[in-house]
Amino acid sequence: MNAVSTRKAAGKTWSKETRQSMLGLAMVLPSFAILLLTVIIPIFQSFIMSLTNDSGGYDLSRYAYLFTDKGMRGNILFTLRVTAITCMLVLLVSYSLAIYMRFNQGPVVDLIRRTYMIPLFIPGVIATYGLINLLGNHGWLSRMLEVIGVELPRIIFDEKGIIIANLWFNIPFTTMLLSSALSAIPSSVIESAKDVGVGRLTLFTKFIFPLSYKTFLVAVTFVFMGVIGSFTAPFLIGANSPQMLGVSMQQVFSVFQEREQAAAIAFFSFLLCSVLGAFYIRSMAVEEKDKI
Amino acid sequence: MQLSVRELSKRYKTGDGVSGINIDIQKGELVTLLGPSGCGKTTVLRSIGGFLEPDSGDILIEGRSVIQLPPEKRPTSMVFQSYNLWSHMSVYENLAFGLKIRKKSKAEIRASVDEALKLVRLSGFEKKVPAELSGGQQQRVALARSLLLNPAVLLLDEPFSALDAKLRHEMREELREIQMKTGLTMVFVTHDQEEALSLSDRIIVMNHGRIEQIAQPQQIYDEPASLYVAGFIGKMNFMEGVADGAKIRLGSLALPNVKNLRGRVTAAVRPEDVQLRERTDTEGTLTGKVKQVMILGHYAEVTVELAEFGIIRAFQSKEVVQRLQPGQEVGVSITQMTGFPVDEAKAN
């Protein structure tokens, strides 16, 4: 919004320009205030809190604990692992669905198009209970498989359950993002590529992927942040150890009542996300520069 | 025969489509598919390129059936209406891509790209990206990209329709020149009859999914095969007359009955074949009143209201027009016409 109003502000006289930029600032101010109160100040407070040690002084002992404690280190690695696997699977499935819907027609495509967004409308808690009922020890799936004499291996209450739940939560939105990116690629671009003699794989790696790369980055960012900070599903169907960072933070906060340590975990998660955020913003900036 | 289309048909769910399409194109010919939007010309072109699967019929290129092949395996190349270039690649990469796939050496690719850019008069544009080019330049690069593949048949789907009139004229001339130089066989789709008349070796006029006439531009203009072609190409006056043995009578006018028609006849008369005379008492003329005189540069269009036949338009030289006033009585004679039986007119 800021950029737009400053661009508009290129008026004739200085006073008009000043007036315009004042207006621009006034329009940005409310949203900035909300950002300040709900995000920036709490982060800062958590950071300060996370620096306080047991004896009331300030040091990095809370962070040292994150990496020295065996359980905690396991939690961090577990979280990164689940996040990475989920990101890859979500992108694989969503890209496949989006490409299938973009380049095919017929009843199957219509069915996918009509149904793929349904998970977005089901609250997370309910979906997670659904998964427990479906995949649990004596859930529908195991009962159905019992009939033909197959024993269902343990799916939920470990890594697999969390990943499956996160797939359910993330695939619809990611597919929607990628679908819209693919439909923005003109048919003549794809057809002219085929015309030149490009095969299917090259078509994807040299045309479809580069032309939807920006949206791909947005999707990766969304899925990464969503999964790394996910709570409901890991809390309900995760194992006791290792835990996702969100669950671990909750436990440290309410069960162990160690607010400072919880703040350190929170700040660390924030750092993990900001790494990806920085990468995303940087590549967007490069693209903008290319345009100019 | 470079390209043969045999009994091609394709119906869409909406009921539109083409049927009974038979086309034979010689090597080095530039043939235009001409017709209004929705007549099926693009359907025919896309079927040749492999982007559409026809319901029945066959397509042969250099004597070999290509109907089973996907676009990437056909010896054709297509220039699309718009969004032709790959926006994420430079001009050089756009041109080189097809050659890279064909495993040509770097030096060979560089030489071919240079030559192609020279041919479309864009030398030195290698490093630009499509967004930096004007519409005309983009279409020229697209043309160059297709030329580089040295296709057996080059397909052009209204490639200049998004350009302004002046540029369109220039591009036409350039395309014709390139075609002369390379001797490529080209199929060009357009809805612009002027473009078709000026470019083509032969024109295929299409209407409602059928071919109305295949002929050279001059023949299409002078001897339209159907009332539809007569009305679609150029300006035309339509008058109703009666066939009377060897003559077709339009009021007091009698013209030769070339096609041996019988009964009522629709006479199609070009405005340049209508003569105006100031005196009205001469034998063998129709009488009418000048309604309007429109100057169109080196000639003028005169609208005359005939007592028996309604409005008729005539192209006249500037000299003749200077003596004409709106409301003036004139004698109208016709030097040439094409007759069509009236029933055909109803069917259309």
Domain locations in chain B? 3-229, 235-347
Contact B71 A198 (CB under 8 A): no
CATH topology of domain B235-347: OB fold (Dihydrolipoamide Acetyltransferase, E2P) (2.40.50)
Q: For residues B332 and B285, is the Cβ–Cβ distance under 8 A?
A: yes
Q: Which domain holds residue A24?
A: 1-51
- Residues A111 and A91: their CA atoms lie apart, in Å, by 20
Q: For residues B245 and B257, is the Cβ–Cβ distance under 8 A?
A: yes
Per the DSSP assignment, residues forming a β-bridge with B244 are: B247
Q: At what angle do helices A159-183 and A70-103 cross, to 10 degrees?
A: 40
Segment-wise mean pLDDT, segments of 10 residues, chain B, 348 residues? 92 89 94 92 94 93 93 92 88 93 92 92 91 90 92 93 87 90 93 91 93 93 90 89 84 82 87 82 78 87 87 87 84 87 59
Asked whether residue A61 is domain-assigned, the answer is no
Residue A65, classified by CB atoms within 10 Å of its CB into exposed (0-12), middle (13-18) or buried (19+), is middle
Contact B101 A197 (CB under 8 A): yes
**pLDDT value at residue A292:** 58
- Whether A189 and A103 share a structural domain: yes
Q: For residues A66 and A263, is the Cβ–Cβ distance under 8 A?
A: no
- Whether A12 and A44 share a structural domain: yes
Q: For residues B324 and B330, is the Cβ–Cβ distance under 8 A?
A: yes
ipTM: 0.76
Asked whether residue A63 is domain-assigned, the answer is no
Indicate the CATH number for domain B3-229. Answer: 3.40.50.300
CATH of the domain at A121: 1.10.3720.10
Asked whether residue A8 is domain-assigned, the answer is yes
In sequence order, the 6+-apart residues with CB closer than 8 A to the CB of B278 are: B323, B328, B330, B331
With an 8 Å Cβ cutoff, the interface of chain B facing chain A consists of: 49, 51, 70-73, 76-78, 80-84, 86-88, 97-98, 101-102, 142, 145-146, 149
Asked whether residue A1 is domain-assigned, the answer is yes
Q: Which residues of B touch A214 (CB under 8 A)?
A: none
- Whether A242 and A168 share a structural domain: yes
- Residues A98 and B13: their CA atoms lie apart, in Å, by 25
Asked whether residue A58 is domain-assigned, the answer is no
* Residue-by-residue pLDDT tens, chain A, 292 positions: 444 444 544 445 568 888 888 999 999 999 999 999 998 999 999 999 999 888 888 888 999 999 999 999 999 999 999 999 999 999 999 999 999 999 998 899 999 999 999 999 999 899 999 999 988 888 888 888 888 888 888 888 888 999 999 999 999 999 999 999 999 999 889 999 998 888 889 999 999 999 999 899 989 999 999 999 999 999 999 888 899 999 999 999 999 999 999 999 999 999 999 998 888 888 888 777 766 5
Q: Give the count of domains, chain A.
A: 2
- Whether A179 and A247 share a structural domain: yes
Closest C-alpha among A75, A92, A76, A74 to residue A223: A92
Asked whether residue A282 is domain-assigned, the answer is yes
- Find where tokens 């359980």 sit: A71
- Residues B65 and B3: their CA atoms lie apart, in Å, by 10
Per the DSSP assignment, residues forming a β-bridge with B267 are: B239, B339
For residue B126, give the 3-state DSSP assignment: coil
- Whether A24 and A98 share a structural domain: no
Share of chain A above pLDDT 70, in %: 94
Q: Kindly give the pairing relationship between strand B56-61 and strand B3-11.
A: antiparallel
Asked whether residue A222 is domain-assigned, the answer is yes
Return residues 192-211 of A near B (CB < 8 Å): 192-199, 202, 206-207, 210-211
- Whether A87 and A4 share a structural domain: no
Q: For residues B187 and B153, is the Cβ–Cβ distance under 8 A?
A: yes
Tens digits of residue pLDDT in A93-107: 999 999 999 999 889
Q: Which residues of B touch A196 (CB under 8 A)?
A: 72, 77, 97-98, 101, 145, 149
Task: Give the global pTM.
Answer: 0.79
- Residues B143 and B137: their CA atoms lie apart, in Å, by 10
- Whether A157 and A20 share a structural domain: no
Asked whether residue A62 is domain-assigned, the answer is no
Contact B87 A196 (CB under 8 A): no
- Whether A5 and A78 share a structural domain: no
- Whether A176 and A281 share a structural domain: yes
- Whether A232 and A100 share a structural domain: yes
Q: How many CB pairs under 8 A join A and B?
A: 57
Backbone phi, psi, residue B130, to 5°: -50, -35
- Residues B91 and B95: their CA atoms lie apart, in Å, by 6
Which residue in B51, B98, B149 is closest to A191 by CB distance? B51
Q: A214: nearest CA in chain B?
A: B88
